[in-house]
Structure 1
Amino acid sequence: MLSAQVQVQAAAQLPVQVSWARLGDAHEGLLNLLDPVERGRHDATVDPADRARFLVGCALSRLLLGELLDVPPAEVPLRRACPRCGGPHGKVRLDARDSPGAPASYEFSVTHSGALVGVAVCWGGQGAQVGLDVEDADGFVDVENAARTALSGAELAALHALPPAERQPAFLRVWTRKEAVLKALGVGLRVPPSGLEVSAPDMPPAVLSWPDRLAAPPELAMADMVVDGVHPAAVAATGMGSGAVRVAQRDASALVAGYGR
């Protein structure tokens, strides 16, 4: 196992690591990685595709964090707790209560859309938080209805100024940025996304204006990505200054599909 000093030094130098797996990577051997709460949620999920996405997301998170913490993936201490009711369905985090001797912590964010499942991990020092979002470019999106809820007035006007064929990719780019930011801040869709205005799709990602409920937002770094050549994704991180966040991407399908086989 790495010494505490070496682990802290190595982690502090890491960019945000973003790893991607696929729906087809799910297999029964991954069930051995789940804790009782995860297994209960998995078994209670009716839709087979949603069940597979949840399984791959849990497995990928545990495999990545196990590598960083140098512990078996099934022993990575994870906890889900809703900030409002305390139920086991909140944002998943490393649980320091189960590893009080751990020299460091990591923050991570899980996303999925269509056949894609992604996990972003960053060093949790200096108040860092991370949010990741991906959207399936091949899926159907009711852009007009979604845009009226998700976009500010200025963003909606800019979207309608585009030719119809360009509106879905433009909307998805803007949406991934917003979702990543709201995840990084830990508020999710409890804050209306229309109040968060971001830069135009063809410009570097940035927040232009914040919702009133986030009157004193932290500095935020962002980056756009494209997965498998077509699917838009975005990552946002606090505690890393402002501007562009440094991202290291990894295709982790083989890691997930090969575990336990």
Structure 2
Amino acid sequence: MHWLSSPDDRAPALPAVWLIATDRRPATLPERSALRRGLARTILANQFNLKPETVTLDHEPGGRPVIAAPYGSGLHISLATRSGLVAVALAHAPVGVDVEQIDLRRQLPLAALHPGEQAMLEALPSPARPLTFAQLWSAKEAYVKALGTGFRRAPESFEVQLAGLDGFAVDDPERPGKPVRGICRIIKNGGHETMAAAFIQLV
């Protein structure tokens, strides 16, 4: 697994995630989509020695992005944007990536969490909860992106268990067996906002 920070960086192998800090703050969904898709096209072109105009992204009916051209790459892609930070994940299996801002003023929506996650958060000192919530939520969103469902899958229906600041596992009753493991990071967005990023690949 490789973490990269510039659209000009090439991953030596996949899976890889590009976390790119920009000075843009798109206000609408179309603007956010245009920002992350534009950077994704640049990354794909650089990674595979293509002209950007030959790279096309589309999406499945449920919203999951797909590489439409060049056709037949066999690669899976996931995209996220928050506060000007763009995440692009590439892998050979279904993949999800998400970024969340750590907001110290936000009222945490505990009802949207699995009971085990709620209990874990409530056991923490109040100052530690915003960081942990951002880690949990980025991991949950990355997971449902990898599933291809988005939050049509109820977020409280599966449990994320954090393993320090750099890992997590997902216990999903609809996918019995060994928990799926993911990777997370805490980063600064251009030296300003503190962000939680999460990556997961379904194999």
Q: Same fold (TM over 0.5)?
A: yes
**1:14 corresponds to:** 13
SS of corresponding position for 1:121: strand
Aligned counterpart for 2:83 among listed residues 108, 114, 121: 114
- Select the structure that is richer in helix: 1
CA distance in 1 between counterparts of 2:40 and 2:67 reads: 10
CA distance in 1 between counterparts of 2:43 and 2:178 reads: 27
Query: Residues 50 and 186 (structure 1 numbering): CA distance in 2 closer, same or farther, change over 3 Å?
Result: closer
> What's the CA shift string for 1:132-186, capped at 9, x where partnerless?
011012474321xx1211x111221221111111111111111111111111111
CA distance in 1 between counterparts of 2:66 and 2:175 reads: 25
Q: Which stretches in structure 2 are left out of the alignment for 5+ residues?
A: 1-10
Q: CA deviation at 1:74?
A: 2.1
**2:161 corresponds to:** 199
- Is 1:131 the counterpart of 2:130? The answer is no
CA distance in 2 between counterparts of 1:216 and 1:154 reads: 17
Given residue 93 of structure 1, which amino acid in structure 2 is its aligned partner? Answer: V
Aligned counterpart for 1:61 among listed residues 40, 56, 66: 40
Contact 1:116–1:136 (Cα < 8 Å) also in 2: no
Structure 1 length-normalised TM: 0.63
Which range moves more in the overlay, 13-22 or 162-171? Answer: 13-22
CA distance in 2 between counterparts of 1:184 and 1:61 reads: 17
Query: Residues 138 and 66 (structure 1 numbering): CA distance in 2 closer, same or farther, change over 3 Å?
Result: same
Contact 1:134–1:231 (Cα < 8 Å) also in 2: yes
- Select the structure that is richer in strand: 2
Given residue 114 of structure 1, which amino acid in structure 2 is its aligned partner? Answer: S
Structure 2 length-normalised TM: 0.79
- Is 1:92 the counterpart of 2:65? The answer is yes
Given residue 180 of structure 2, which amino acid in structure 1 is its aligned partner? Answer: L
Alignment coverage as a number of residue pairs: 189
Aligned counterpart for 2:183 among listed residues 223, 226, 244: 223
CA distance in 1 between counterparts of 2:144 and 2:38 reads: 24
Query: Residues 65 and 217 (structure 1 numbering): CA distance in 2 closer, same or farther, change over 3 Å?
Result: farther
Q: What is the CA RMSD across the aligned residues, in angstroms?
A: 2.8
**1:74 corresponds to:** 53
SS of corresponding position for 1:142: coil
Higher relative contact order (CA 8 A, sep 6+): 1
Given residue 106 of structure 2, which amino acid in structure 1 is its aligned partner? Answer: V
SS of corresponding position for 1:15: coil
Aligned counterpart for 1:148 among listed residues 111, 116, 140: 111
> What's the CA shift string for 1:6-25, capped at 9, x where partnerless?
xxxxx9x7232211223425
> What's the CA shift string for 1:183-210, capped at 9, x where partnerless?
1111110111111112136374112x21
CA distance in 2 between counterparts of 1:218 and 1:14 reads: 25
